[in-house]
Amino acid sequence: MFHDHPIPSSHPGSGSQKADSEGLPLSTLEGLSPKELLRRGNLRLEKCEIREAGLYFTLSYERARDQRDLRGISDALAQLLRYSSEIGDERAIQKWVNELEIFIAHNDGNLTPQVWYCRGIIAFRSAQYRKAQVLFHRFWREIEREEGMSPVTTPERHREIMRSKSQALLACAVVAQNQGKLGRARYLGEVILSYAEKERPRGILASTYLMLCRLAEKSGDLVLAKKWLQKAFAESVSEHNWYHYLYVLYSFAVISRLEQDFIQARFYLDLLEKAVVQEELRSLKLGISEERVKLNLNRVDLEIDLNRSVIRTREGEFSLGRQHLLIEMVHQLALAHSEQSEGGRQGLSKAELIEKVWCESYNPEAHDGKLYYNVNRIRKLLEPDQKSPTYILNWRQGYRLAPELRVRVIQGEGL
């Protein structure tokens, strides 16, 4: 299942840790603990080295199981479930679900909090949102219970506890969003930020900003959505988290489409398709394909932005600056284009163009040359081939926009 704000990872350690830059083969990692292997796997995932991340997660799970490290087993299973979901491997997902059930059966009464997070992920994937909410709440309560039994004695332990709580709240917020409980999701997001913007736990802030962006988008507040998205962008770049960065680009494409800036939306999608070359990123690839479909359904062939004095076509964007006569000519043709008659889309006669654009009474001797000159200027700007125009056509005793064009005019406040 595709999410335009990925559920946060379980990322042991502080945000100051560096990525594994040695590129060592797994055979040389015998001395590393399950926690360290998991950390390196998460850093590989952030760098979009998807296959390598999966190998680290698997090795972390196997080593934790050999060492009877219950926390390590549950932490690794959480990552393996998320990883398998991202690459769309249903067989692997079922394998790790089975491993989780075996683990729970053998360790009933001695389970770590992360087990409830794993079960929440499984319920979320199946769109069992109410069940997922209960499980993620249980995850929160188990963290608090564990905190009460073992008082925090070190800054590192404090960061680990607070990060787990943020992870639980963010998971609950994502579920609430999918249930349509936008107010609750927004409240939980604000609670997370009250801690995370101060402590800056790795991976939490970008996921939270993306979730808040999605909430604002659903509420129709695109200005606020872009504000959160810009924060997510800055955070993903700051952390060098290219996995989150790809989801940020995807969200920029969505917001651009909703703003009806289709050229910009296509730019982001083209950029994403060039970046997402790994076959393992199937979930994101599916999202890009679905967004392409939505963009094509909302696409326009000719957009006249009177606010910015810009005309956008299938071929590009053209700024007319202070050439107000030219953009007003296209604007008037667009208004006529919106009218239907028995003969199809309407156009304007030369007399009507002169009256509407120049506010003068039509005189062929005085105005025909002026009109031909300015129509040619527009065609030179917009038409890929002036000899075979596809936007502005001759029509009866005047001109019209090509009947098949989808046209939009942007004017006044907003869109």
The full DSSP string for 258-273 is HTT-HHHHHHHHHHHH
CA dihedral sign of residues 228, 229, 235, 241: positive
Does the domain at 26-255 match CATH 1.25.40.10? Answer given as yes
Q: What pLDDT shows up at residue 232?
A: 96
What are the backbone dihedrals phi and psi of residue 231, each rounded to the nearest 5 degrees, phi first? Answer: -65, -40
Strands 302-305 and 310-313: what pairing?
A: antiparallel
Domain with CATH 1.25.40.10 in the chain: 26-255
Strands 310-313 and 344-345: what pairing?
A: unpaired
Beta bridge partners of 318: 311
Rounded Cα–Cα distance for residues 260 and 236 (Å): 26
> Kindly report the CA angle at 406 between 401 and 408, in degrees rounded to 5?
90
Among the listed ranges 28-32, 114-118, 228-232, 411-415, which one has the minimum average pLDDT value? 411-415
Provide the 10 A C-beta neighbour count for residue 216. Answer: 21
The pLDDT of residue 14 is above 70: no
Q: Two tokens at 56?
A: 């680290």
Mean pLDDT score of the chain, rounded to an integer?
Answer: 86
Distances (CA, A) of 210 to 204, 244, 252, 333: 10, 9, 10, 41
Q: What pLDDT shows up at residue 9?
A: 55
The pLDDT of residue 142 is above 60: yes
H helical segments located in 239-314: 242-258, 262-275, 282-298
Q: Is pLDDT larger for residue 348 or for residue 153? A: 348
Chain segment 164-202, per-residue pLDDT in tens? 899 999 999 999 999 999 999 999 999 999 989 988 888
Average pLDDT over residues 330-351: 84
Domain with CATH 1.10.10.10 in the chain: 302-410
Helix (H) or strand (E) segment spanning residue 108? none
The pLDDT of residue 343 is above 80: no
Among the listed ranges 23-27, 98-102, 252-256, 337-341, which one has the minimum average pLDDT value? 23-27
Q: Is pLDDT larger for residue 374 or for residue 86? A: 374
Q: What pLDDT shows up at residue 373?
A: 94
The pLDDT of residue 400 is above 80: yes
The pLDDT of residue 331 is above 50: yes
Q: What would you report as the CA-atom Rg of the chain, rounded to the nearest whole angstrom?
A: 28
Among the listed ranges 6-20, 106-120, 314-328, which one has the minimum average pLDDT value? 6-20
Rounded Cα–Cα distance for residues 354 and 370 (Å): 9
Q: What pLDDT shows up at residue 344?
A: 65
The pLDDT of residue 29 is above 80: no
Rounded Cα–Cα distance for residues 9 and 42 (Å): 8
Average pLDDT over residues 326-345: 83
The pLDDT of residue 23 is above 70: no
- Cβ contacts of 281 within 8 Å, gap of 6 or more: 48, 50, 86, 87, 246
Show contacts of 115-119: CB within 8 Å, 24+ apart.
115/74, 115/77, 116/142, 117/10, 117/74, 117/78, 117/167, 117/168, 117/171, 118/74, 118/77, 118/78, 118/81
Average pLDDT over residues 251-272: 89
pTM given for the model: 0.71
Average pLDDT over residues 386-402: 91
Question: Sorting pLDDT into bands at 50, 70 and 90, what band is 20?
Answer: very low
In this structure, CATH architecture of domain 302-410: Orthogonal Bundle (1.10)
Q: What pLDDT shows up at residue 17?
A: 43
